[in-house]
Amino acid sequence: MASTTRPRENPDPTSGTNPFEAAYRALFDAFDDDGSQTLSRAELVRNLRATGILEDDPRIQGILDATQDGDGDGEREMGFPEFVALIQHHSGLLQRAMQNSLIVPDFPSLTEEIDRIHHDLLPVRDGRVADCIPQLARIDPEQLAISLCTVDGQRHSVGDVDVPFCVRSVSTTVSYCMALEEHGVDVAHRHIGREPSGQSFLIRPELSLADRFDHVTQTWQRLAGGRRVGFNNSVYLSERQTADRNVALGHSTREGNAFPPGTDPLQALEFHFQCCSIELDARMLAVVAATFANGGVCPLTGDRVFSRETVQHCLSLMSSCGMYDFSGEFASTIGLPAKSGASGALMVVVPGLMGICVWSPRLDELGNSVRGIEFCRQLVKKFEVRPHASVTRASRRKDPRKRRDQSSVESVVALCWAASQGDLDEVRRLASAGADISTGDYDGRTPLHLAAAEGHVEVTGYLLAHGADPAATDRWGGTALTDAQRGGHTRVAELLGPHTAVPCRKATGADTRSTAASAK
């Protein structure tokens, strides 16, 4: 039944009765570095950049524009009321950024590692630039660019990231998705099978070649967050003049009824060559990859370019055949969907987390970027990014989704809980994985406190033998011995007795607030 109650009017964001005022004030203060009670563009940009939200992010342009003066030539500072009025549509993004709640909370730690990998890759000079197309052979082989974008729009780039390059066969990922969106899975695969190449003839065949190409470039632009894509005409002409083998293959596939009726194979090849000659830089391709990682929604604009189902089909093909004849090995050792191109471009997707572009023109004998492959090896070695990585419980790799202190806090919670339950095997496993057995929870209660309070003799003995501090006190001044005595656990008290003749000190606390903390 519909309510007859009159809806409450939205409160003034800066009034004393506004329930959100405290949150807005905390956010304002987080940006106000100098405590002036006003915000400058520099303060906003500096704080957001530290979290990976960059100045050219379209989601924050309205807020940044408000710090410009009337004629746009200078800057001015905004007060709290204006700040609140501006951010109401973006407060979620800003709040998560300032509270370290974006998908990669410790973004500086991730970027530091990416920069280190970039530095280590610079001396690698194996492979050679592609010469299958004469114009590609002229690319400077020493160039290297790495760029990433998370599903929350956090971005970082290092190296030659402003240099445009042709996407080459990376274009087939987008063309494939467009064919699926227009014709559906069954029709598309009836003609193109399960290999992501040669499907450009299925994209808007009723349009002229020029209009079809505009349609493709507009889709690339949406995927890249609105930045305009380029076109390398010299590469296009160079490929067109050396396309005898592709022309022969086109006629051969038409003879095998691979094309829909009425399709001109030569025109299809022309269109394919044009799509391969689209130019992006590493920053743009990283955003494209992040759109795939985000299920078809561009992180910077919120624009749904492809359906989630379409993206899933594309990622499956990228996993199985995106790296030419190296695809099987790449799937086994790297385990991430990826697509490479003869220009040295490599687009890597970490589903649900981020997209990455590596561009380095030197190719191996299979046509993949040498440095790009090595980057991926280093990435999965250092970070928990593989889809099935979570099954490795004692992994030493970093999980970029966790805050810097989150792993240690979670290990304290797990260890306290295992000790309170008397689970000796789990206590051993956690200790061997590096958990600090002397660290206390929010109330200062260590695993030894909890094992003693529950009368677990074997766990108590193990913890004592491995350095647990029996003199540690919780927030109420209690030791493991007093807990054992209170619970009437005589055998545990006997174990602890000889170890308690030392001055008491507080346990090192960790803000875990675990459920195990109440297990007395």
Torsion of CA 229, 234, 239, 240, to 10 degrees: 100
Residue whose structure tokens are 């023109």: 361
Burial of 400 (0-12, 13-18, 19+ CB in 10 A): buried
CATH for 406-518, among 1.10.10.10, 3.90.1150.10, 3.40.640.10, 1.25.40.20? 1.25.40.20
pLDDT at 3: 37
Residue type, 508: T
pLDDT at 104: 95
Burial of 245 (0-12, 13-18, 19+ CB in 10 A): exposed
DSSP 445: -
pLDDT at 357: 98
CATH for 21-98, among 1.10.10.10, 3.60.110.10, 3.30.499.10, 1.10.238.10? 1.10.238.10
Asked if residues 203 and 182 have their Cβ atoms less than 8 Å apart, the reply is yes
pLDDT averaged per 10 residues, the chain (length 520): 36 50 83 89 92 95 82 78 81 82 92 97 96 90 98 98 96 95 85 51 77 95 97 92 67 60 75 94 98 97 96 96 95 96 97 97 97 98 81 67 69 85 83 78 87 94 90 89 93 83 42 36
pTM score: 0.75
Residue type, 224: A
pLDDT at 413: 82
Instruction: Tell me the three-class secondary structure of 394-437, residue by residue.
Output: CCCCECCCCCCCHHHHHHHHHHHHHHHHCCHHHHHHHHHCCCCC
Structure tokens given for 153: 């729009």
pLDDT at 275: 95
Nearest residue to 55 (alpha-carbon basis) of 218, 283, 346: 283
User: Backbone phi, then psi, for 360, in 5-degree steps?
Assistant: -150, 115
Residue 241: how many CB atoms within 10 A of its CB? 11
Asked if residues 86 and 79 have their Cβ atoms less than 8 Å apart, the reply is no
Asked if residues 354 and 285 have their Cβ atoms less than 8 Å apart, the reply is no
What are the sequence ranges of the domains in the chain?
Answer: 21-98, 112-388, 406-518
Asked if residues 201 and 190 have their Cβ atoms less than 8 Å apart, the reply is no
User: Backbone phi, then psi, for 355, in 5-degree steps?
Assistant: -115, 150
Segment (H or E) for 347: strand 345-350
CATH for 112-388, among 3.40.50.720, 3.40.50.300, 1.10.357.10, 3.40.710.10? 3.40.710.10
